[in-house]
Structure formats: structure tokens, C-alpha cells
Amino acid sequence: MRAIVTHGTGGPEVLAPGEIERPEPGPDEVLVRVAATAVNRADVAQRQGNYPAPPGESEILGLEVAGRIEALGEGVSRWRVGDRVMSLVGGGGYAEYALAPASTLLAVPERIDLVTAAAIPEVFITAYLNIFREAALRQNETLLVHGGASGVGTAAIQLARRLRDARVLVTVGSDTKADACRALGAETILYRSESFADRVRALTDKRGVDVVLDHVGGGYLAENLRCLATYGRLVVIGLLGGAKAELNIGQLMVKRQRIIGSVLRARPVAEKAEICRAFRAEVMPLLEDGRLEPVIHARLPLAEAGEAHRLMGANANTGKLLLVVDEGLD
């Protein structure tokens, strides 16, 4: 089957079309014939040699797929061959066929085509998990999202607004991205021209925000804590700014703040399945009726995976970068 294979580690040029053996589903798995997948920061990190696939997962890049079920593994009873599905996968998405745990499958809403559906699983589940389950964002609280125009950022804005009527502040790198985020209901901070912590404090009358969703890590730690209100929660989901920082523990104690580290890919399948059950109940109705919409920057052929990685590396995208494998599956 066709797939994107990685020739060593390095820049986008190490990605190339190739042929690999089609996998077969094991117990409680399904084989998905892929309509589309999407590029995520984790794919870029893995390509660079900084984020190896978990043990037992495919070395092929790609953490989400949408398509039709091609075959069922032993013990799968809820799903049928031909069903339209989308899912998180531990790897293997950049290919014609991919394995997915039956317990993490989500039915694609009728109003959404299969290619568009590939923009949903990773970013919407990541945002849902970390904002609501890890940070426990409550009704009418204030959320700060770094990288508001990213896939996770655009999902986070919508989820926080729709599910908790939250006030959402985001950092962005350009006026164009700011416009896109404001259209989703966020207030924007241009982090290249102003201190985001100073701006957050000004916008909140020095109170700060209740939750920060951060993918930068060490480089932002001090300023993130300065942004947080008393009892505020910082959720770190990425390390683009480094893995180490100095922490003022006294400030953390006095303001009763919490720092939460979180990843999705490395969690056991059973844990991902429980997250997907909650997501199915709370979020899928909003995707089904159009109250939530994935934001898509571009749809590229699978063979142009390298170009999609270049766009992400340059932070050129607003929303998701999709890789189309077979748009005729609908």
C-alpha cells in the first residue's frame, strides 16, 4: 500500500512516498481505509528524531485518520465494514490503510465529508481533554490559549466558548491570524509586539486568567504563572520553548496555583477510550449540528507531506493541514 516513509531523521526532505505492507487488524482493532489524515506538531517532532513512536505503534507518521472501515479484528461487534469513522491512532496515519482501536472510533457526522473529518480527532480531543478534564474549566471562567490560530488553538476557542461560555484570550503571531481567532470569538494578543503577560493582566484588570493552555513549555513558565489568577491552572502540552525553567515556588503557593503536564499519544488505549467516550457524549452533538467546525488551512495530496511539514515548521498555517489519501471514499 502507499504510505509516506521516513528516510532517517531531519528536515521535511526525509519524507517520501513509498510502498509498505498493509497491516491486519488484531483483537479489538479495525483496519481503516484512509480518506485523509492530518499533520500535527508531534509528527514534526518525530520526523526530527525528538519524539519516537510508543512501543508497538507504527513508525509511519500520522496520529489521526478518517475513512471507512475495511476489516474488523476479533472481538469487534459495534462497528461494521463500510462505516464512516474518524479516530486517534498511535501512528500509521500517513498511509492508504491504518489500524485503529475500535474503542477510540468516532462516527463521522452525516453533514461532514470524510476529508474534513480528518481535521477533528487529534485537536478537538486534545483541547477537550486538557481544558475540561485536566484543568476543569468552569462556567464563565477565562482561558488563555497560546498559538490560538493552530489546530488545537482554533478547537480550544470554540470548545471553551460553546461548552462553558468562557472568555478566551489567545496569543497569535500576525494580524491575519488574529482576525481568524476573533471570528471564532477570542480576544487576541500579538505576542511578537507586546508582552503577553502584561496584556493579559491589563485585559483582566490585573486579576489574571483561570486556565492557561500552553504548548511552549519552559520558555513561557514564569510569564504563564504571572498570567494566572489565584487558584489558576496551567496545562503544559508541548515543549517548543524548552523542557526546563526556573520556578518561583513561593508565588505558586501563595496564589494556590497548579501546573499540570499532559500528553495524549502515550496514554494507554483504555484511557484514550474513556476520554473518547466522554468526548462522544459531550462534544459530538455540537459537531453533528454545526455548532463546532474544524478550521482547515490547506488540503494537500499525501505525496506532498513534506510541503505540509514545511508549512507547519514556518507557522504558516491557520488551523489544520490535511493530507488527502482518497477523497473518493464518500
Task: Tell which CATH architecture fits domain 2-120+265-329.
Answer: Alpha-Beta Complex (3.90)
Average pLDDT, the chain: 97
For 264, the 3-state DSSP assignment is coil
The domain locations on the chain are 2-120+265-329, 124-261
- From edge to edge, which strands make up the β-sheet containing 258-261? 187-190, 167-172, 142-145, 209-214, 228-236, 258-261
Q: 3-state SS of the chain: helix, strand, coil percent to 5?
A: 35, 25, 40
Q: What is the pLDDT of residue 171?
A: 98
In tens, the pLDDT along 111-140 reads 999 999 999 999 999 999 999 999 999 999
Cβ 216 vs Cβ 238: under 8 Å: yes
Q: What pLDDT sits at residue 256?
A: 98
Q: pLDDT class for 82, splitting at 50, 70, 90?
A: very high
Residue 73 is predicted with a pLDDT of: 98
Instruction: Quote the CA–CA distance of 174 and 193 in Å, as a whole number.
Output: 10
User: What kind of fold does domain 124-261 have according to CATH?
Assistant: Rossmann fold (3.40.50)
**Mean pLDDT value of segment 102-108:** 98
Contact (CB, 8 A) for 34 and 67: yes
pLDDT of res. 304: 98
- The stretches of 48-150 forming alpha helices (DSSP H) are 114-117, 121-128
Distance CA 330, CA 6 (A): 29
Percent of the chain with pLDDT over 90: 100
pLDDT in tens, 292-327: 999 999 999 999 999 999 999 999 999 999 999 999
pLDDT interval class at 245 (50, 70, 90)? very high
2-120+265-329 and 124-261: identical CATH topology: no
User: Would you say the pTM of this structure is higher than 0.95?
Assistant: yes
Q: Which helix (H) or strand (E) holds 151?
A: helix 151-164
Q: Is-contact 326 66, C-beta < 8 A?
A: no
